[in-house]
Chains A and B, each alone.
Chain A
């Protein structure tokens, strides 16, 4: 079950939030700000994956929904000249709408149809973006995407402004995730995950609840995509491939889907690993999937609740047995 207690959400989360807000004031280093921006986007996407996983389903198309948001907002801005901030939310709604349709078709049955359908969906969207080149720019993508429109006369487009937008997105999804877990919806989601037949017999509409989770996840994925388009000033189908979706799954699994902290921990570790590996001389990036695949298998095999789950398990067993008795109690038990 979900073990996040009030202490972590009421003290640790605000402290981290404050640190993130103050961070650009402490150091002017653009590289660090840029890295945290990318990291924040990954955490938003992985949280979406986790939200769907809370209802007991696997979505392997989160990158495609990011792409839906990115293309939707970019096209509205560049072809129709709409305001960036309206498009920012429209991107979220567009992705949620696609999620509604796909969810309605594939979430009626339990088990794996949804996972396979999302996988196919990612490929379907990639093909559409590549082939419909008059609208989506084909494999070359869309270039010269402008920076977001100024808010209250403050021009946006600098590294710091992108940093704050990303942190804002990160806050919104974290608040949503924490609120969901504390509320009735969270209980309904976990009832579906733990024992769906029982949940259905208690009057839970299984399909609708799963679609709801999927739509919320994709809403944020769409907004993250719109933001990503501005951040890069350039999007192409290569940015939203199946491999990216698999990476979000990897981050979520490594961190652990049982906790709000899972996506953040998973993303931080898994994004840091390739950065550290590239410091090795004569390093061949082809090795990366080999390492990622190995990590995925090891995590699933030895700590299926992810690193946060492992940590929580250690803490709770430490609390139960106490630090002094530790080993002996275990043997006795």
Chain B
């Protein structure tokens, strides 16, 4: 492998890992706080992509504005779904899982009905265009900017959960919902906040990758699945575990797909997951509940 190829796959690995981490972080927050298994999480990523396509390509809005609008709309949709559908199933893993499968089917079919099965391309803003040369490798500015935004978001979320009062409340509810509500915390509001943050993160990932890849109703399936692999590999409820696992999977996909092809890289990811679970049944950084 030449240095040029190495740099290129390194950047690709960081990019796919970062996007996965953005999706998986929301998932692990929702799962950790409400004990709701949301298999429809990948669809929020897809809706984020469709939002930015609709606002920027169809309505001709500026990219940043389109991103903000799309992300907030998807976040509000997430809160609506949480309030109307997931609320009775808090702390009930299996019923919420079944509900989320229903939501997944509906969201995907609704998008397909409204916009068709064809791929849509999102116009990239001016700042995204162009190439940068690092040690002989040509890297698109687009990918570097997306990586920077992703990194900033991950650090921001980490700070939010570690240092703000709302973050502290989230951790308290995740630890023990009953005890937290007895202390006077508004569990409803914290759950909605968690769902809002989670869907916003997934939608942002969808918006950022929109200009790089295409937008289609089935685009949420693979990242949605991989996000689950990430949180199981990293240990459910652990933010640093999610980040580490996301990077591991990003690197397996980025470097594994050059010699073997993307499908084999994905197979390798699953094999790594199974082997890890043999030795660490709770994931890399998960701690045993019982």
Q: Is A109 an interface residue (CB 8 A)?
A: yes
Which residue of A110, A124, A293 has the most chain B CB atoms within 10 A of its CB atom? A293
B101 touches A116 (CB 8 A): no
Which residues of chain A from 79 to 131 have a CB within 8 Å of any chain B CB? 102, 105-106, 108-113, 115-117, 119-121, 123-124, 127-128, 130-131
Given contacts A120-B270, A123-B270, contact A58 B94 (CB under 8 A): yes
A294 touches B106 (CB 8 A): yes
CB closest residue in chain B, given A130: B263
Q: Is B22 an interface residue (CB 8 A)?
A: no
Set of chain A residues within 8 Å of B229, measured between Cβ atoms: 116, 120
Fill in one digit per residue for B91-103: 1 if any A CB lies within 8 Å of its CB, else 0: 0011101110111
A289 touches B108 (CB 8 A): yes
Fill in one digit per residue for A274-310: 1 if any B CB lies within 8 Å of its CB, else 0: 0000000000101111101111110011001000000
A: contact size bracket:
35 or more
CB closest residue in chain B, given A285: B109
- Roughly how many angstroms separate A295 CA and B290 CA in the complex, as a whole number? 35
Given contacts A112-B97, A127-B263, A304-B95, contact A297 B103 (CB under 8 A): yes
Which residues of chain B from 101 to 147 have a CB within 8 Å of any chain A CB? 101-106, 108-110, 112-113
Set of chain B residues within 8 Å of A286, measured between Cβ atoms: 109, 112-113
CB closest residue in chain A, given B116: A286
- CB A107 to nearest CB in B, in angstroms, measures 10
Given contacts A112-B97, A115-B97, A304-B95, contact A120 B105 (CB under 8 A): no
CB closest residue in chain A, given B261: A131
- Roughly how many angstroms separate A51 CA and B101 CA in the complex, as a whole number? 20
Q: Is A13 an interface residue (CB 8 A)?
A: no
A123 touches B264 (CB 8 A): no
Set of chain B residues within 8 Å of A288, measured between Cβ atoms: 109
Fill in one digit per residue for B74-104: 1 if any A CB lies within 8 Å of its CB, else 0: 0000000000010011000111011101111
B105 touches A290 (CB 8 A): yes
Given contacts A124-B270, A127-B267, A296-B105, contact A113 B277 (CB under 8 A): yes
Q: Which 10 residue pairs spanning A and B have beta carbons closest together?
A: A293-B105, A296-B102, A293-B106, A289-B109, A297-B102, A290-B109, A289-B105, A293-B102, A124-B270, A131-B263
Q: Which residues of B contact A (CB under 8 A)?
A: 37, 39, 85, 88-89, 93-95, 97-99, 101-106, 108-110, 112-113, 225, 228-229, 232, 236, 261, 263-264, 266-267, 270-271, 273-274, 277-278, 281-282, 288-290
Would you list 21 pairs from A and B whose C-beta atoms are within 8 A, ordered by A residue?
A108-B281, A111-B93, A112-B37, A113-B281, A115-B93, A116-B229, A117-B273, A123-B225, A131-B264, A253-B98, A290-B106, A293-B101, A293-B102, A293-B103, A293-B104, A293-B105, A293-B109, A296-B101, A297-B102, A297-B103, A300-B99
